[in-house]
Structures are given as C-alpha cells and as structure tokens.
Amino acid sequence: MSALDLGLPATVPPPEPGGLPAEVTIWEVGPRDGLQNEREVVPLEVKLEFLHRLAEAGLRVVETTSFVHPDWVPQLADAADVLAGLDRRPGVRYPVLVPNERGLDRALRAGVTDIAIFAAGTETFSRRNLNRGFDAQFAMFEPVVGRAVAEGLAVRGYLSMVFGDPWEGPVPVEQVVTAGRRLLELGCEQLSLGDTIGVATPGQVEAVLRAFDAAGIPPARLAVHFHDTYGQALANTAAALRAGVSAVDSSAGGLGGCPYAKSATGNLATEDLVWMLDGLGVRHGVDLAALADTSAWMARQLGRPSPSRVVKALISD
Ligand code: MG
C-alpha cells in the first residue's frame, strides 16, 4: 500500500507557507458520525444506498459504521450487515470506528481493512465517553491498535475535545499534543483533531497546528474535524489548509452532532467544504451536484431538511 493509498498527499508538493494544498482528501463521516446521532433507526437498505451514492459522487474515504456495542448506539447495531451488504467501489476506502478489542474482533470478522479509534482529549470526556481516566484510555487502545497493525489494517486516531470541552472549558495545547503523540506512537498513521463542540476559531486552529509541528508532528500526519456550532467550521478549515493540513473530515448534508454536547450542531457539511475547495481551486474529486442530490435524498429519508447551506442553495424542493 502506498502513501497515496493511505490518504497521504505523497504526490502533492507541500504548500508554500500560508499557501494551500493542491489536493485535499475528504474523509466522509456521514454514515457513521452523522447517523449515530439519529434516534430513529435508519433501515439497512437506506444506509447501503447512502454509502453507494457517496462513493458514486466521488468520495474516496467513506467512514462506514462503528463496531460500538449495540446497546450504546442501537443505530449502528447492524454494522456487520452493512459491511456484508456494501457494494465496494474500487479505489474507495471504507473505514469503520472500533471502540475497543471486542469491536476490533467484530470488525476483523467483517473483513475490514481500515479502522479508526476514538480517544478523548480531556479527563472528563474520557470518563464520560470511555468510562476510564485520560491516561487509562491509552492502555485500552494499545492492544486495539497493536493487533490491528499486526493484521495489516490502517488505523486512524480521533482525538476529541481538542479545542474546548463542555465540562472543563479551554483545553491546554500541551495536553492535546501529548495525547495526539501517544495515539501516533501506538501506531495510528493519521490523527484527526476534533472540535467536538464546535467552539474553535481560526487563530486557535493555527496555534494548535503550530504546537504539533513544533513537537515534530507535521500537518501531513493530521486531519481536522470541525463542527459548525458557532458558524466557524469553514473558517477553521481554511486556516488548517493554510497551515498545511490536507485531510478534512466532513459529513454529507451536515448530518450529525455530538450526543455528549447538547448544543453541538452538525458536522461541517461536505457540500459546504466542496464549494469552498472549488472556489480555492483545490482538487477533491467530488461531484457536488451528485453529492447534494444524495444529501437531499437522505434528508427526505430522515424527514427533515439538510442543515447544509450549499444543499439548501442547490436543491429547490
Ligand atoms: Mg463529528
């Protein structure tokens, strides 16, 4: 597997300082991060069509589901069925979230080749989301990542609450860098920095990315995951691109939020991201019209309009 297969911009020259990458890898999270917040269980065939349409629209990384315990997230209890029914498009990666070793066992049985783990950037969120302390989470993830790497899987690490925590407030940058480094040292090839409650602003994004770079973790190892709670997701993404990041998480139609942060509105919408990248002349490979059609279709399945500004602008029904 080449660096390009792993989503790393191996053939793209590094941007000039303050410049933009020539190409961005969009990590589509709608089917997992988006749907996991939906109370009403979405039928399997709708999920499969959603995945199919996202890949057809040109997305090359589509996070497919999570092997979280079905009691925690009933919406994703059909993870194995989703994987079994997936109409895999050549050249598309279908990573899945794996919370622990039991989840890894299920993912391996389903034949996955890409996984992601979800770590907490703060003590409080670690206790609430993972039921263990900040330090103890790494001991839990160590055998997950170790076994996955030994099996030849690509592993991504999510780090959440990077830019603010609803219980602790501001999160020290050194704590974030330390946590991120520990995930990379476990064997994660890429680290996705999550603004889980959507409070980040562009100057803070630059400061966090500078701190990682100063600690020897370059932007090529990083992705960004913004929420649009305060309307800052695109501004934050632009700041990250100018700092050298070329992997961006987003969710078709802006699906999803965070069950632990009541105020957290949706993920950055993939359509909004694509519109900005088009304007900036940054390549991404996505057919915007096909994607917006897909999100409008999914919104009809869910019974409410997409929160994406671009979907609203492009789709008149
Ligand atoms: Mg999210």
For the cut 60, the answer to whether the pLDDT of residue 3 exceeds it is no
In the block, tokens 């890949």 appear at 55
Report d(CA 165, CA 168) in Å as an integer. Answer: 5
Q: Which amino acid is at 234?
A: L
pLDDT tens digits, 208-228: 999 999 999 999 999 999 999
Residue 259 CA to ligand 1 center (angstroms) comes to 10
Higher-confidence residue of 204 and 5: namely 204
In this structure, are residues 64 and 31 in contact, taking their beta carbons and an 8 Å threshold? yes
Residue 158 CA to ligand 1 center (angstroms) comes to 10
Report d(CA 295, CA 311) in Å as an integer. Answer: 7
* 82 domain residue, yes or no: yes
Bridge partners (DSSP) listed for residue 248: 26, 224
* 224 domain residue, yes or no: yes
Domain total in the chain: 1
Residue 195 CA to ligand 1 center (angstroms) comes to 8
> With bands split at pLDDT 50, 70 and 90, how would you rate the model's confidence at 148?
very high
Instruction: Note the pLDDT of residue 277.
Output: 98
Q: What are phi and psi of 101, to 5 degrees?
A: -65, -35
In this structure, are residues 42 and 35 in contact, taking their beta carbons and an 8 Å threshold? yes
DSSP-assigned letter for residue 161: S
**Any idea how long the chain is?**
317
Work out the percent of the chain whose per-residue pLDDT is above 90: 87
Environment of ion ligand 1 (residues, CB < 5 A) = 33, 267
Instruction: Note the pLDDT of residue 37.
Output: 86
Residue 273 CA to ligand 1 center (angstroms) comes to 14
In this structure, are residues 38 and 74 in contact, taking their beta carbons and an 8 Å threshold? no
* 180 domain residue, yes or no: yes
Domain hosting 194: range is 25-314
- The reply to whether 188 belongs to the active site is no
> With bands split at pLDDT 50, 70 and 90, how would you rate the model's confidence at 86?
very high
* 83 domain residue, yes or no: yes
How is residue 232 written in tokens? 């800052």
Residue 289 CA to ligand 1 center (angstroms) comes to 23
Report d(CA 232, CA 210) in Å as an integer. Answer: 19
Instruction: Note the pLDDT of residue 4.
Output: 40
Catalytic residue among 258, 277, 311, 315: 258
* Domain CATH for 159: 3.20.20.70
* 10 domain residue, yes or no: no
Bridge partners (DSSP) listed for residue 223: 192
For the cut 70, the answer to whether the pLDDT of residue 165 exceeds it is yes
Average predicted confidence (pLDDT) for the chain: 92
* 153 domain residue, yes or no: yes
Cα→Cα distances 310→74, 197, 250, 288, Å: 30, 22, 13, 9
> With bands split at pLDDT 50, 70 and 90, how would you rate the model's confidence at 13?
low
* 12 domain residue, yes or no: no
* 3 domain residue, yes or no: no
Residue 227 CA to ligand 1 center (angstroms) comes to 6
For the cut 70, the answer to whether the pLDDT of residue 5 exceeds it is no
Report d(CA 83, CA 20) in Å as an integer. Answer: 35
Higher-confidence residue of 7 and 114: namely 114
> With bands split at pLDDT 50, 70 and 90, how would you rate the model's confidence at 14?
low
Instruction: Note the pLDDT of residue 262.
Output: 54
